[in-house]
A and B are shown apart, each in its own frame.
Chain A
Amino acid sequence: MTKLAKPMFALLLLAGLGTPSAQADELRITARNATWQKECGACHVAYPPSLLPAASWREMMNTLDRHFGTDASLDAAQTKEILNFLTANAGRRAAVGKDGKPLQRITETNWFRHEHDEVPARLWKDARVKSPANCAACHQKAEAGDYGERSLRLPK
């Protein structure tokens, strides 16, 4: 390594560590699939695949006929396409419930709890929010996959 290259290398390394790349990935979702967007997005925001690990998505797509109290079943071809998309872009953090099964609710993951620990309890119960599943109540650009703070507006 030349005299100049060494500090440059260190700088690059620092820059690399400094950029909140992992964080940015979660705040701005780029992975997209038309079937996922249309079908999952019919009843709620199409939740980003990175918010649950592959095991959770597998369990979910296997039990769509009993999906959080509703029948959300799809035909086999669409189920397979969406599952492939979800697992290919799944998160890497483990998300396992107390019963040892893969978590199904994003709101029960440690990551979600941590990110939302400053949200006051009354807000979750606000009629305009209705449910923690309603990302777009505060994340104004959730439909477009943007969960950054710039587009964050808490109902007053």
Chain B
Amino acid sequence: MFTRHTLLLAIGLPLAATGARAETPNDFLAGFAKEAQSADANFKGFSAQRGEQFFKARHGGEWSCASCHTERPGQIGRHAVTGKRIDALAPQANAERFTSRRQVEKWFKRNCNDVLDRACTAQEKGDVLAYLMTVKP
């Protein structure tokens, strides 16, 4: 335990010193996996196919994720109410996506409430991200 903490400290300190750390989609995927594992001991990894179905389905409400991000999230989307342009969501099409914890947490919180009327599980978030990472521009 001691060595593990020391190792974390050794990695964490230089990162903290450089300020906000830029993250990658894979970092978020790993984080969701860890969260899903602790929520469910039978967690068996993420599925891009399941993520795609989740993304395109309505979940009892008026909207799906695709209502704004379109069924081709490598392309530009439009806000379902205001018509405002939404930059592509797939990381291969838009390098800014899934690089900021603040942004990722903010949008999952908001959009899961809008589409599902509840928070998304780590399994759902990981599946959707796994799907988005396969989408070409």
Interface residues, chain A, CB within 8 Å of chain B? 42-45, 65, 68-75, 130-131, 133-134, 137
Contact = CB atoms under 8 A, between A and B. Distances in A.
A45 B111 CA distance: 19
A68 B27 CA distance: 33
Interface of A: prevailing SS:
loop
Interface string B104-125: 0010011101100000000000
Contacts of A134: 82-84
Interface of B: prevailing SS:
helix
Nearest to B68: A43
Interface residues of B, number: 12
A73 B109 CA distance: 8
A12 B82 CA distance: 45
A110 to B, nearest CB: 23
Interface of B: 79, 81-84, 102, 106, 109-111, 113-114
Contact of B110 (A73, A130, A131, A137): A73
A40 to B, nearest CB: 11
A71 B79 contact: no
Given A42-B84, A69-B81, 6 more contacts: A43-B82, A73-B110, A74-B106, A75-B102, A130-B83, A134-B84
